[in-house]
């Protein structure tokens, strides 16, 4: 496979004027799917197609139709080509369809008692989503127009309609679709309007290969297909779906971390944290400003732990947040709830026992991972959660890891972590006590084992899994 074409909606880069020269230059954003796909582009040495987000992004796209070269933290360089969508279409897809509708559908974001309610705006958003999908498919087809044997790599849930568009024009091409977020159970997926839930599946199944981070998301997807597309023949054991004369293989392909990106950093704690923490024990919770990251319950569990065991007096907790989609009311409300939980914790345990810190500086996150005496990743659901792999690899204090059983990463790391029910404060509190009071020799042995388990799951290994799986599935397409 030599002619690769890679796309994702979200870029790891935004363009803005250089403060000194005024010329547009690319600025890297930390974390998320965009960075993962950018590093994959670097490994494969291919161009990467993504959406122009801001007005400056659109200007950069206009001035550089063949793309711009971007230097990654790992030292790799990639060529980025940005798609200019209709402004209204992009806003609807960005701010409503993906940020609220599909994100909530895949991450169990609705209570079903009061939310959701679908009206005309949902159907209008799906029409706009069709235009957005056409933009990506057209860009990939145009890029590959002079190639006899293109291979398409399509990443994440915003592009689930692209495989069908590619297949219509390139019937024999290998197409991989990788979904970076969870996939819900059939009953939950049925909440979506029939036209939406069926249409999205029909956009995905023309793929040669569909990938998820966790086996449970793979199982859920296959169950959705069997439940909602009666004409599909689903072999759950092999992960193969036969539908409309084509074969699609659904695979589980975990990802942990990028070694070059992780180690090419200059870690430094956020201002004031080193002095505040001193050399005492520090619990670190880390995640985006997204309700699924569950920091509020982590803080409440910490309060329970400290109040239940005198040995934890003097332990401090840092809630490290990365601002993400704060224009979404659920995310903004989550931040308010976390801040309220922090204030209540300090009222109960003593002033300044718990702090929150919010910025998008990756070097701050890495330094917090290093400094922690206990790490908490208690998401209510998570496609994978790469931080659960990264943090133990850089930590310098043999910190135990509390990991939600609802993270995709738990399928790899559960045997070497304190795995918990993210809704159970008592269980989480006990895990905090156990982790902080474990003998040092036990902590050291467990930390070494965690590193050994996490180390093989590199970006490079993940890329190989994708290409090897796609090759095998393409060769088996007539079976």
Contact 377, 407 (CB under 8 A): yes
Angle, CA of 215, 218 and 222, to the nearest 5°:
140
User: What is the pLDDT at residue 13?
Assistant: 59
Q: Facing residues of 13 across strands?
A: 28
What architecture is domain 267-456? 3-Layer(aba) Sandwich (3.40)
Contact 162, 207 (CB under 8 A): no
CA distance 331 to 293: 10
Tell me, rounded to whole angstroms, the distance of Cα 314 from its chain centroid: 34
- Tokens for 16? 């803005």
Which three-class secondary structure state does DSSP give residue 446? helix
Which three-class secondary structure state does DSSP give residue 41? helix
In angstroms, how far is the first alpha carbon of the chain from the final one? 21
Angle, CA of 208, 213 and 216, to the nearest 5°:
95
Tell me which H or E stretch contains 319. Answer: strand 316-322
User: What is the pLDDT at residue 15?
Assistant: 60
Going by the DSSP 8-state scheme, the letter that residue 382 receives in this structure is B
User: What is the pLDDT at residue 362?
Assistant: 87
Scanning the structure block, which residue is given the tokens 């439940």? 227
For residue 473, with 0-12 CB atoms within 10 Å meaning exposed, 13-18 middle and 19 or more buried, which class applies? buried
User: What is the pLDDT at residue 12?
Assistant: 56
- For the four alpha carbons of 260, 261, 266 and 270, in that order, the dihedral sign comes to negative
CA distance 158 to 163: 12
CA distances to 102, 299, 320, 350 from 338, rounded to whole Å, are 24, 8, 11, 17
* 4-255+461-476 CATH, one of 3.40.50.1860, 3.40.50.720, 1.20.140.160, 3.40.50.2000: 3.40.50.2000
Scanning the structure block, which residue is given the tokens 């987000």? 53
CA distance 81 to 366: 29
Q: Are strands 418-420 and 401-404 parallel, antiparallel or unpaired?
A: parallel
10-residue averages of pLDDT along the chain (479 residues) = 81 62 61 70 84 79 78 75 92 91 96 96 97 97 93 96 98 97 97 97 98 98 97 98 97 92 87 96 96 98 98 97 88 97 98 94 94 98 95 98 98 98 98 98 98 96 95 91
- Tokens for 462? 């993940």
User: What is the pLDDT at residue 93?
Assistant: 94
CA distance 21 to 308: 58
Hey, where are the domains in the chain? Answer: 4-255+461-476, 267-456
Equal fold, 4-255+461-476 vs 267-456: yes
The number of helix segments (H) and strand segments (E) in the chain equals 19, 18
User: What is the pLDDT at residue 79?
Assistant: 80
φ and ψ at residue 51, rounded to 5 degrees: -85, 140
User: What is the pLDDT at residue 64?
Assistant: 79
CA distances to 31, 87, 307 from 83, rounded to whole Å, are 21, 11, 54
For residue 347, with 0-12 CB atoms within 10 Å meaning exposed, 13-18 middle and 19 or more buried, which class applies? exposed
């Amino acid at each position: 496979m030599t002619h690769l074409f890679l796309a994702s909606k979200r870029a790891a880069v935004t363009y803005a004027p250089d403060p000194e020269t005024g010329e547009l230059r690319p600025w890297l954003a930390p974390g998320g799917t965009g960075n993962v796909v950018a590093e994959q582009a670097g490994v494969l040495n291919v161009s990467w197609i993504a959406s122009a987000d801001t007005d400056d992004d659109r200007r950069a796209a206009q001035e550089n139709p063949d793309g711009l070269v971007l230097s990654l933290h790992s030292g790799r360089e990639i060529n980025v080509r940005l798609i200019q969508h209709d402004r209204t279409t992009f806003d609807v897809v960005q701010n409503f369809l993906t940020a609220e509708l599909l994100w909530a559908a895949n991450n169990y974001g609705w209570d079903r008692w009061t939310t959701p309610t679908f009206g005309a705006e949902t159907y209008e958003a799906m029409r706009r989503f069709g235009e957005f999908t056409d933009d990506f498919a057209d860009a990939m087809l145009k890029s590959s127009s002079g190639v006899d044997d293109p291979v398409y790599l399509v990443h994440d849930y915003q592009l689930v309609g692209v495989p069908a568009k590619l297949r219509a024009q390139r019937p024999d091409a290998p197409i991989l679709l990788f979904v970076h977020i969870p996939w819900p159970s059939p009953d939950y997926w049925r909440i979506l309007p029939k036209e939406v839930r069926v249409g999205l599946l029909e956009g995905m199944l023309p793929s040669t290969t569909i990938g998820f981070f966790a086996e449970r998301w793979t199982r859920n997807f296959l169950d959705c297909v069997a439940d909602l597309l009666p004409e599909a023949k689903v072999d759950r054991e092999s992960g193969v779906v036969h539908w409309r004369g084509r074969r699609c293989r659904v695979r589980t392909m975990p990802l942990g971390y990028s070694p070059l990106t992780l180690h090419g950093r200059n870690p430094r704690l956020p201002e004031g944290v080193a002095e505040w923490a001193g050399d005492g024990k520090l619990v670190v919770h880390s995640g985006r400003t997204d309700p699924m990251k569950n920091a509020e319950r982590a803080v409440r569990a910490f309060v329970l732990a400290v109040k239940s065991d005198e040995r934890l007096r003097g332990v401090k907790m840092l809630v490290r947040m990365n601002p993400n989609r704060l224009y979404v009311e659920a995310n903004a409300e989550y931040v308010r709830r976390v801040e309220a939980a922090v204030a209540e914790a300090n009222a109960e345990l003593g002033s300044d026992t718990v702090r929150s810190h919010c910025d998008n500086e990756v070097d701050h996150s890495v330094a917090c991972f290093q400094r922690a005496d206990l790490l908490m990743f208690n998401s209510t659901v998570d496609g994978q959660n790469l931080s659960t792999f990264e943090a133990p690899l850089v930590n310098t204090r043999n910190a135990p890891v509390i990991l939600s059983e609802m993270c995709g990463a738990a399928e790899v790391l559960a045997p070497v972590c304190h795995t918990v029910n993210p809704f159970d404060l008592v269980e989480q509190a006990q895990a905090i006590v156990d982790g902080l009071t474990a003998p040092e020799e036990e902590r050291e042995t467990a930390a070494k084992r965690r590193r050994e388990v996490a180390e093989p799951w590199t970006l490079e290994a993940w890329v190989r899994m994708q290409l090897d799986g796609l090759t095998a599935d393409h060769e088996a397409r007539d079976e």
